[in-house]
Chain A
C-alpha cells in the first residue's frame, strides 16, 4: 500500500511514520507538509491511501510563516480539490484538534466527521484523534488501514 501523508507537524509525522513502519501492508509512506506540496504530490503520483491533517499551511518553506499561511481547514480544501478533479483516494483524517472554528463556524470533531461524510462520501473514510499523550490513535489507524487492504 502506497500512502501519502500530508502533515506539517514533524513530531506527529514522525510518530505516525514510526507506527506505520511496523504495519506490513505499507510499501511506502510519502510525507508532504503543506496544501500545495500535498496536492502536487497527489496529482503527480499514484497512492492507495491518503492520511490527512486538517490544519495545514498553504505552502512549505522558510518564509511560509511570514504570510497568513495557516488554514485551519486546509485538509478540507485538499478534499474539495480531489472531489473537483474526480480523484478518489481513501482518505483518513488525523487531527490533533477536537474542535474547529469559533462562533457560528464552531464544529466539534463529530460534526466535522459528519460534514466530511456528507461532502466527500466517495473518499472520506474516518477521522482519528491524535494525541502525543496517549496511544489510542495507533489502534484506530491500524484498523482503518487494514480495512483498506
Chain B
C-alpha cells in the first residue's frame, strides 16, 4: 500500500494504490496526515489504483473526512472502481463522500 500526495493551489491530491487492509490502515492513516493541513483546500482521494479496502481502511477515510469537514474542506473520492464502490455501497459510506 503506497500513498502519494501532490499539492496544488486549489487542492491536495492523495493517490492511493494497493490494498488498504487492516494491516495497512495504521501506516496509511499516518501517510495521509498532510491532508489535515489543507486549510480549506479541496481534498481529492484518487482511488484509481486502490484494489481493496477493509473496514479499517474505511475508518481512515472517515477520519479524514471528519477532520476536513471541521476546517471547511471538501473531500472528493475519484476514480473509484467497482470493488471499492461495492464496499462503500454496503457500508453506507457512499452517501457521506462526494464521489466523482
Q: Do A and B bind? A: no
A residues lining the B interface (CB < 8 Å):
none
